[in-house]
Amino acid sequence: MGFSTDAIHVGQEPDPATGAIVVPIYQTSTFVQEELGKHKGYEYARTSNPTRAALECNLAALERGRFGFAFASGMAAINAVMSLFKVGDHIVAGHNLYGGTFRLFERVLRDSGLSFTYANTCQLEEVEKAFRPNTRMLYLETPTNPVMEITDLAAAARLAREYQVVLGVDNTFMSPYFQRPLELGADIVIHSTTKYLNGHSDGVGGAVILNDAELAARLKFIQNAAGAILGPFDSWLVLRGVKTLAVRMERHNVNGLAVARHLEAHPRVEKVYYPGLPSHPQHELAKKQMTGSGGMLAFETGSLENARTVLKSVRLCSLAESLGGVETLISHPATMTHAIVPPEERQRLGITDGLVRISVGIEDVEDIITDLDQALAKI
Ligand SMILES: Cc1ncc(COP(=O)(O)O)c(C=O)c1O
β-partners of residue 30 are: 44
Summarize pLDDT for 252-304 with one digit per residue, the tens: 999 999 999 999 999 999 999 999 999 999 999 999 999 999 999 999 999 99
Distance CA 120, CA 122 (A): 5
Residue 143: cis peptide before it, omega within 30 degrees of 0:
yes
CB atoms within 10 A of CB 206: 28
Q: 98 in ligand 1 pocket by Cβ < 6 Å? A: yes
Summarize pLDDT for 173-215 with one digit per residue, the tens: 999 999 999 999 999 999 999 999 999 999 999 999 999 999 9
Catalytic choice (6, 52, 98, 357): 98
Q: What is the mean pLDDT of the chain?
A: 97
Distance CA 236, CA 200 (A): 13
CB atoms within 10 A of CB 120: 19
Q: Note the helical H segments in the chain.
A: 3-9, 50-62, 74-82, 99-103, 124-130, 153-162, 175-178, 213-226, 232-242, 245-264, 283-289, 304-313, 343-349, 365-376
How far is CA 40 from each of CA 33, 222, 230, rounded to the nearest angstrom? 8, 23, 21
The whole-number pLDDT of residue 249 equals 98
Q: What is the pTM of this model?
A: 0.97
Contacts of 72 (CB under 8 A, 6+ apart): 204, 205, 206, 228, 229, 230, 231, 234
- pLDDT exceeds cutoff 90 at 340: no
- pLDDT exceeds cutoff 90 at 341: no
Nearest to 171 by CA among 212, 204, 203, 207: 207
Å from CA of 322 to ligand 1 middle: 8
Q: 170 in ligand 1 pocket by Cβ < 6 Å? A: yes
Q: State the virtual CA torsion across 282, 283, 287, 291 in degrees, nearest 10.
A: 100
* DSSP character string of 314-360: -SSSEE-S---SSS-EEE-TTTTTTTTS-HHHHHHHT--TTEEEEE-
The whole-number pLDDT of residue 251 equals 98
DSSP assignment letter at 23: P
Q: Determine the Cα angle at 293 with ends 146 and 351, to 5°.
A: 10
Nearest to 75 by CA among 97, 53, 47: 97
Instruction: Categorize the per-residue pLDDT at 219 as very low, low, confident or very high, splitting at 50, 70 and 90.
Output: very high
Q: 49 in ligand 1 pocket by Cβ < 6 Å? A: no
Contacts of 295 (CB under 8 A, 6+ apart): 252, 253, 255, 256, 323, 324, 359, 360, 361, 362
* Element (DSSP H or E) covering residue 271: strand 271-273
Atom of ligand 1 nearest to the CA of 145: 1
Average pLDDT over residues 40-63: 97
Catalytic choice (52, 136, 180, 195): 195
Note if 98 is an active site residue: yes
- 3-state DSSP percent of the chain in helix, strand and coil, to 5: 40, 15, 45
Helices 304-313, 365-376: inter-axial angle, 10-degree rounding: 130
- With the most atoms of ligand 1 within 8 angstroms of its CB, the residue from 82, 144, 179, 192 to mutate is 192
